[in-house]
Structure 1
Amino acid sequence: MRRHATVLHLDLDAFFAAVEQRDKPSLRGKPVVVGGLGPRGVVSTASYEARVYGVRSAMRTAEARARCPHAAYLGGRFDAYRAASRIVMDRLRELSALVEPMSLDEAFVDLAASDEARDLDPDALHAIAEQVRADVASRTGGLTASVGIGTSKLMAKIASELAKPDGVRVIPPGTEADVLGPMSARAIPGVGPATAERLRRIGVTTVDEVRAVADDDLRSLLGRSSGAALAALARGIDPRPVVAEREAKSVSVEDTFEIDLTDPRVLGDIAERMGRRVAERLARSGLSGRTVTLKVRHHDFETHTRSTTLAGPTDDARVIVRTARSLLSEVDTSGGIRLIGVGMSGLADWVQDDLFSGAPEKHEPVDAPDPDPTVTTAGARARPGGPGGRRWVPGADVVHDEHGPGWVWGSGLGRVTVRFETRLSGPGPVRTLDADDPALRAGTVEA
């Protein structure tokens, strides 16, 4: 346990949805849902206005539409989210050299590495957190953040949760047990539905009740490692350090299909595109990998993975694709496949070249869907849409030669509806155009 509250956790509020509301004036103050838009789509983020109707992240989009049919459902713009995240992380690095991003919208900061914040009292820490929040809002054009400060990662994250939305909470040293005690055991990291059910069966639902259980009993119930970890966390003891760089362990691409697929040739083509996408990501990151993994989810939701470890690390698309196809050939697809994924692990920053492979193959552009539903519209590009022309994804940035910049409201039957407005313009007019209108093209993300 640290003697001082020197760990800060920042969490951007409803991040993806907030970026959309910031950039689309007509959606401000209205329910917005970002995520997969197909029949099997899943909600990534819901604005607070949508949460009032019970819409939550990880909920099926179909259920979200039933609960809140009047919300704006957007595919997402990953480039915009990355740009906003970069601004926030840069601000945190001004505060301390030790910043550990956990995702695009949250990070831990070790204030002990900051001359400005070391060993300050709770009031001074509160003022620093408020300044960070104010700077984030100013630099990102209005995005809000919740900030928590505590003696450990656990307590800092608990504090930011208590501060939501758009607030600050500092948990002073010595008060951890009082704060944690009344909370649900689910508030402790690692206590998911299965663990919570095991605890409930012995009459334990709160953190106070977890602390009342003997450590040996927790280890017997949950296993030696998990039981010991839970006993410590329930007391507010969390020795995990803030790590400035979080090393990537794998690179992968996966997709859930709108209908179950059975044709091995179709699945093989999809696996090939995914393998090429993985190779492109490895090359962009200057990485290579040794273990190729194929993930398959069958029609009954049973999920299996198969993997092969190569003789040496590679980023060669041909090798990855050949291995992925080989792994897929061992799978019975006759019952229908809901999801497949291709990944590479055992990463290294060097490549073991195959001296007999010939000239390297050029990585061709791939349109394989990404595991993150927001990535499929990164760059706000239009995709081939079959007989109806180009397919424009709701939320994507566009520009029209006559009407100027805007974003896709919806599309179908060869038509696309666009609201022409920008972050600074105020709510703009709506126009419906031909999906193949030569004057309409993909737009760019505002800085």
Structure 2
Amino acid sequence: MGMKILVIGSGAREHAIATTLLKGASVDEVTVAPGNPGMELDGIRTTHIDPSNHAALIEFMQSSGYDWALIGPEVPLIHGIVDDFHEVGLKAFGPTRAAAQVEGSKEFAKQLMARHAIPTASYRSFTDYEAAAAYVTKHGAPIVIKADGLAAGKGVTVALDVQTALGALENIFFERRFGNAGLKVVIEEFLEGQEFSLMSFVNGTEFWPMPISQDHKRAYDDDKGPNTGGMGAYSPVPQISDDTVEQAINTIVRPTVEALAEEGMPFTGILYAGLIATDEGPKVIEFNARFGDPETEVVLPLLTSDLGEGINAILNDEQPTFTWRTDATGLGVVLAADGYPDKPKKGTPVPTIPADADSHIYYAGVKNAKNPVEKKTTDSTSSTGLVSSSGRVLVYETVAPTLQDAQSKIYDTLNALDTTGFFYRHDIGAKALEAVVPDNK
């Protein structure tokens, strides 16, 4: 008998996790709570339980005989869902409330790094506008402004001039754009270099790194427009040398998991290190306490081992096995609703995107149309019966022998579709093709 697993969350990340779990021989059944109707097109079960309702999730786990849960989004982790599961003897893959502070508070993460000499940008934190504005005016730009708490990936402003920085502070302190996340602000020095994401499976002081990926945060081509939750990603990242990755593992990932364990907050789950390759070596931009989105959608398709078996081993304090393709690139592009990230347009019919053995549609912000119409168009696309319900609607992902092959396949398909009411970036992966691969030093 294979395992039964509950995945908590509703987006494209959870769709990719559920799909990957079901590929493994160790897993018979996956339910996603609450999931979305796009997942159901793949035969994935969903149950309409809100991730904030820990008691209902516990009851579902117990009554359905599920083996363990994997928590996708950050909010339940920061609110202690893993602690609540442990209290009633249920297994959950994710950090405790204490360990999840590495994502829940920018200041907590910064102080942890300072105590343990983990390389990151220098910073100051402020709780009132006047002091923060005075610091920005004196320091000058470029400078980075971050709401301290959770802001769904949108609480960071890279300000290239002082005016933009002051505007970001006004948004946080006066307009309260990020609610309680903006009661405190962290202001950082601007770091120059290419960013990359390094996710690791972690169990206490042991960890197993995944292939690195690169996310594209800005809404529009050429890194223009506002920050979003991510508009696309690719893995691996050829312009980041193996030596740089090795250095990041040794100077950032290892000391961070050891620091959390040493301070009485051992981390189990996925530690996401958002890093930048500077002239002085890799430095931390941010930590997340879970799988990244949309990085997960391009990294997990490269996994050649059984994801459920690996995580189950970690939860039982055994040695897991994770193996990855090294002969291919995963690339994914987000289809977003017009108006995202500020005012995404809802209710637009979602086009059907043709998928095959090497490509996948991972759904996020979708719901069932009230009166679905099977609409045939000249380019032979048809309606999925889904409509947009939030900003990021889906991720279209493929695995191909090279980055160029992956780009061609994705963009040839997307460019042929009628995407009225949606937009996407046309340059995911372009930085890798433009970059000169640095010598391994």
TM over 0.5: no
**Structure 1 or 2: more helix by fraction:** 1
Shorter-normalised TM-score: what interval? under 0.3
Asked which structure has the greater CA Rg, the reply is 1
TM-score, scaled relative to structure 2 = 0.27
